[in-house]
Amino acid sequence: MGRRLPGTIVTTAGGCAAHLAACLGRERVRELSEYLAERDAAPRGDVRAGPRRARVALQDSCHLRNALGVHRQPRELIGAVADYVELPGAAACCGAAGTYSLRRPSDSATLLAPKLDAIEEADVDFVVAVNPGCLRQLRQGLRRRRSRVRAAPGRAARTGRERPLPRSSRLTGDSTG
């Protein structure tokens, strides 16, 4: 289907971006943070945690970082709306790894535990995950620990909301694609 559709394909999932780029060519596919950064379309406003600007960390999507080389753009966009906090080991796998967390839950939990420790030690309000599997893994782990830290999809930090932007978005710059 992608070969029949003209133009750039933009996705909010790192793994999907990597797969589509392998199938359709890297020039046709962008992850949302990469797409917005290329257009100088930074989000406006602040993500708040009560009366203050939120402290937000990022868990890299392995596919996005390692397969596509995208790592600076999500951090810059988060930093536009929140106080960005770099996590030690943000580039290391969280243990989701596609079906790995389902097929090898014990091994997956072994990878996840130090990641959750680092998130809680960083004293952040939110941890953003660009990949749906990572998001599920972090949400589940943080919930089990009864952590006050919330895992949020990448679009939430980029837009300041957990739901997708309406068509009349609040992005600056050229947001037409």
Q: According to the model, what pLDDT value does residue 1 have?
A: 59
d(CA 95, CA 171): 33
- Judge contact between 124 and 85, C-beta under 8 A: yes
Q: According to the model, what pLDDT value does residue 30 have?
A: 92
**Minimal CA–CA distance to 138: which of 158, 159, 117, 121?**
117
The tens place of each residue's pLDDT in the chain, 177 residues long, gives: 567 778 899 988 888 888 899 999 999 999 999 999 999 888 889 999 999 999 999 998 888 888 888 889 999 999 999 999 999 989 888 888 767 777 777 888 888 999 999 999 999 999 999 888 899 999 999 999 999 999 998 766 544 444 443 333 333 333 333
Q: According to the model, what pLDDT value does residue 170 have?
A: 35
Residue 37 Ramachandran class (φ > 0 left, ψ -120 to 50 alpha, else beta):
alpha
What is the reported pTM?
Answer: 0.81
Domain segments of the chain as ranges: 42-159
Q: According to the model, what pLDDT value does residue 165 have?
A: 32
Say if domain 42-159 classifies as CATH 3.10.620. Answer: no
Q: According to the model, what pLDDT value does residue 151 have?
A: 95
Q: According to the model, what pLDDT value does residue 49 have?
A: 93
